[in-house]
Structure 1
Amino acid sequence: MRLTACLLLCLVVVKCDDGQTVSSPLAGFLQTVVDAFPVLCDVFFSVFGEVNEIAFQTALSAALRLVDLAFPAKPPPRVPEPWWGDQAKHDTSIRRFTVHFSDEMIADLRYRIHNRRNLTQPLHNAGNTYGTHAGYLAHFLDYWTDGYDFGAREEWLNSFPQSITNIQGNVILLISSPILSTAPTLGLDIHFIHAKAPNPHRKKVLPLLMLHGFPVTAFEFVYVIQDLMEERDDCDFVFEMIVPHLPGYGYSEATYKIGMAPYQMGIIMKNLMLRLGKPQFYIHAGDVGQAVGDAVAVLFPERVLGLHTNFPFRYG
């Protein structure tokens, strides 16, 4: 009875200021409780004595069903899918991409670093408290000009298969009486790494969309990709990883229109997965990418099989 009473307390209805009932956060909270029940059993044990784990799971599952019946989830809103590009394109092809550091680019970078203004003398014993320490920064600038092997890095980055495709650039119908005509809308070129784990034993393939944060790029995942490419005897599945640059990051095209929010980036990412023939997929994301991944999961729950984050953060 004491356990039941505690569960009933979880079913308190939260009211908004305008009188509307908020049920989704409550249901999500209870689901988290179900997932974490081994730890919670220890908590309940310290408070109430020995707890029957099976009864605990059953009671929580029943509570979740009651929440779903009492407060059925509303379907996600239908959102527009505008075009964000600046040039007319109607190209749904997937084009191979190769990283290339030209001699001109490297020479220009080294010239600008060599001919920079003198750095301000840092404060004594301040470390990086008041900004990046000038002596510390100078070390990296010297490395970029004289020590960094652009050729070796270019070769290594190109060991990961990469492509570009234009997203949300479609042909639309223009009405100009008395003639009907068509014109291409303006999509964005999205760059992505597409790595498929070897699958000699024909295991189940799990599509995994990996979304980076700020101020980094998709290449932050290359070491993780290498680990996930290895086939494991204790798993009945392998991963197929799609690792895009968010719009405006890395080699993905930026928009010059105002108003692109994380949820609109999420729409682009969903459409990228559909372009690649992945109607359902998993997501891993962190930082800014987590805000984008959240939007995909909320707006397109039928597409997202699971969402994992290493950096939960709420934007807006």
Structure 2
Amino acid sequence: MNTHQIMPFQITIDPAQVEDLQARLGNTRFPDPLPGDDWATGVPIAVLRDYAERWRKADWDATQERLNQLPQFTTDIDGQRIHFLHIRSAAPTSIPLMLIHGWPGSFLEFEQLIGPLTDPAAHGQPSSDAFDLVIPSLPGFGFSTPLVEADWPTHRIAAAFTELMTRLGYDRFAVQGGDIGAAVAPEIARVVPNRVIGVHVNGALGAFQAEADEQTLATMSPIEQDRMRRIGEFMATEFGYIAIQSTRPGLIGAMAADSPVAQLAWIVDKLQAWSHPAQTPAAELLGEPFILENASLYWFTARAGSAGYIGYAQEEPWGATPDSSGVPTATIQFAHYVGIRAFAEQGNSIVRWTEHPERGGHFAALEEPELLLADIQEFFRPWQ
């Protein structure tokens, strides 16, 4: 058996599973709302009811047909099945670019960037800005399942994704990511610094520091001081989901595998909190189709537990400063992000730092695709 074999993949959800999902959504037992029924205690029951009803009526067959127009594949690396999209550009100067998602997202985050990145001429941009795209699903997420072994820290994921690029025939390539992807992308550069052209991330980069002394704070800009304040607030009021997923991912997995509304509520809570502005319904900022299709992907694969496990239940120290790969690195900071350049430079070779303090949330490819696209293209243009 060829263990390096790359196999074409098509999404094939049994119609009985779709009917089961619809029946479960229709028979959901909702609790009485807590006092106020607002986002301070979780997803408001009124909002959750509305999402559940819209999900029940969603056309999964149409979604599956659309997604199956994308070239999808699987391959086994380090004992783990890895699912990925691979879209080649017709442009002769295209650069191989890996896009890496995070939690609670999936490869679906990047769908609307595929056309502009692979065929920029069709979207009003120079054809020389083209990329070949590789968009993997993280181990334990979506169709990169089931998770067959423990201990998948960032370094191991990076090594697996490097091997994926090798199997696809790419000696030199670029990487981009957000959330978990913003940790994996720089790590790929540390694994093979001689092969990575550049690293681009959206969001915080480098050591995660919740505290700083007065002298350090005094050297920060007002924006950075506000980010340190928000980091403190996050640690005090929003860290609960990390504590649960890092210590009891199996508990979340069991609940979400049996209740689609539990799965929906668990991720919608963060889709709402992390999009910008937080007061605007996430469906307006991210698009209702993405929210429901992303929930469907988690539901049909029953991977809430393994996704939480990969994202958080690892023995990697928070706040540890990594070694710099020396690979040119760029980051774009939107309003939701809390990146501090001085911290990021401790473990990365930062050559481009773009600020958009009034726009955008955690899900840049969905919320601000044009700004993200332009920053990626501008950063990698010298190599094309």
- 1:122/1:135 contact within 8 Å kept: no
Aligned pair 1:101/2:13, yes or no? yes
Provide the secondary structure at the position in 2 that maps to 1:226. Answer: helix
Q: 1:114 to 1:263 in 2, by over 3 A?
A: same
Give the structure 1 partner of residue 46 of structure 2.
135
Find 1:115's aligned residue among 23, 27, 34.
Answer: 27
Provide the secondary structure at the position in 2 that maps to 1:278. Answer: coil
The alpha-carbon deviation at position 313 of structure 1 amounts to 4.1
> 2 CA distance for matches of 1:97 and 1:236?
30
Find 1:262's aligned residue among 143, 146, 154.
Answer: 154
Provide the secondary structure at the position in 1 that maps to 2:28. Answer: coil
1:193 is aligned with what amino acid?
Answer: L
Q: 1:122 to 1:198 in 2, by over 3 A?
A: farther
Question: What TM-score do the two structures reach when normalised by structure 2?
Answer: 0.51
> 1 CA distance for matches of 2:108 and 2:203?
17
Give the structure 1 partner of residue 93 of structure 2.
204
> 1 CA distance for matches of 2:39 and 2:129?
45
2:40 is aligned with what amino acid?
Answer: T
- 2:80/2:148 contact within 8 Å kept: no
Equivalent pairs, count: 205
Give the structure 2 partner of residue 223 of structure 1.
112
The alpha-carbon deviation at position 119 of structure 1 amounts to 2.6
Which structure 1 residue ranges, 4+ long, deviate > 4 Å from structure 2? Answer: none
Q: Which has the higher helix share?
A: 2
The alpha-carbon deviation at position 100 of structure 1 amounts to 1.9
The alpha-carbon deviation at position 237 of structure 1 amounts to 4.7
> 1 CA distance for matches of 2:109 and 2:160?
21
1:163 is aligned with what amino acid?
Answer: F
Find 2:193's aligned residue among 287, 301, 304.
Answer: 301
Q: 1:166 to 1:258 in 2, by over 3 A?
A: closer
- 1:212/1:218 contact within 8 Å kept: yes
Aligned pair 1:189/2:101, yes or no? no
Give the structure 2 partner of residue 61 of structure 1.
none
Question: In angstroms, what is the RMSD of aligned CA positions?
Answer: 1.8
> 1 CA distance for matches of 2:146 and 2:154?
14
Unmatched segments (≥5 aa) in structure 1: 1-88, 169-186
2:128 is aligned with what amino acid?
Answer: D
Unmatched segments (≥5 aa) in structure 2: 209-317, 319-384
Task: Give 1:1-316 correspondences, 5 Å limit.
Answer: 90-124=2-36, 126-145=37-56, 147-168=57-78, 187-199=79-91, 203-232=92-121, 234-314=126-206, 316=318
> 1 CA distance for matches of 2:205 and 2:148?
26
> 2 CA distance for matches of 1:234 and 1:121?
53
1:250 is aligned with what amino acid?
Answer: G
